[in-house]
Amino acid sequence: MRRRKNSRAWLLASVLLVGAGHGRRAAAAAPGAGQDLTLTARDLSDQALRQYQHGEFDAAIESFMGAFALSNNPGLLFNVAQAYRLKGDCEHARDYYQRYLGAVPETPLKPSLERRVAEMQTCLESRPASAAVAPVGGTRSSDADGLTTLRPAQHPSEDPALPTLETSPKKRAVVWTLRGSAAALLVSSAVFGALSWGAYQDVNGAATPHAAMDANDRYTVDTALTWTFAASGVACAVISYFVSRHR
């Protein structure tokens, strides 16, 4: 009888010791369970980017703000502003662009973002559709269906006489060389104009400041080349005209 009592006492003591050991190990592991908040912020940011790319802007804004609350990374304010703008919420987009500029005042995107803030302000002030303005160089007239069309302006003078073809072969070669150069330069201008427009769209759709800066650099270079080729092409065309008119 005494042996049974002793064995039960030993069994109870061993169970208590094992339980205490497990309790100590669990208590030691508990402090590190929620320690890596940066990883959680990164997960939220990655989730927000996926939502942004799928056009789920409300969900993306919520995830970006959750990541910002954990990491305090100012780049996430830019992401939120972009999502609000693409959603069509001009007021919140303006506010978050301004918050990003306040947090990162020396960002290379500052000129672009200041223009974006102005655009959002204009969006707020001109919500009602404004009346279209007719381009210069034409007269307005109303058709029977009430739509406004443009007719080319009429010039009172007759068309100028065409230049005579009594030109030397050398001059003719110069004229056609200039015209060919003008055509090539204008085509190049159109190509870089398309690339510039694509880069501008990339700036508008960029989800992160790094992507926006890369797209902004491409936009700046392509725009400069567009105008350079366009100006050169127009100059060649004008010179060829005067050369062909010169007797």
Whether residue 9 lies inside any domain: the answer is: no
User: Where in the sequence is the domain holding 240, given as residue range(s)?
Assistant: 169-245
Whether residue 105 lies inside any domain: the answer is: yes
Whether residue 107 lies inside any domain: the answer is: yes
Q: What is the pLDDT along the chain (247 residues), one digit of tens a residue?
A: 444 444 444 433 443 333 334 434 433 333 343 444 455 889 999 999 999 999 999 999 999 999 999 999 999 999 999 999 999 999 999 999 999 999 999 999 999 999 999 999 999 998 765 433 333 333 333 333 332 222 333 333 333 333 333 456 776 788 789 889 989 999 998 999 999 899 888 888 888 888 888 889 999 999 999 999 899 989 988 898 887 776 5
Whether residue 208 lies inside any domain: the answer is: yes
How many domains does the chain divide into? 2
Domain harbouring 86, CATH code = 1.25.40.10
Same domain, 56 and 114: yes
What are the DSSP calls for 135-204, one per residue? PTTEEEEE-TTS-EEEEEPPPSSPPPPPPPS---HHHHHHHHHHHHHHHHHHHHHHHHHHHHHHHHHHHH
Residues 61 and 68: their CA atoms lie apart, in Å, by 10
For 174, other C-beta atoms within 10 Å of its C-beta total 16
pTM for this predicted structure = 0.54
Of 90, 125, 160, which closes a domain? Answer: 125
**HSE-up of 99 (CA within 13 Å, CB side)?**
19
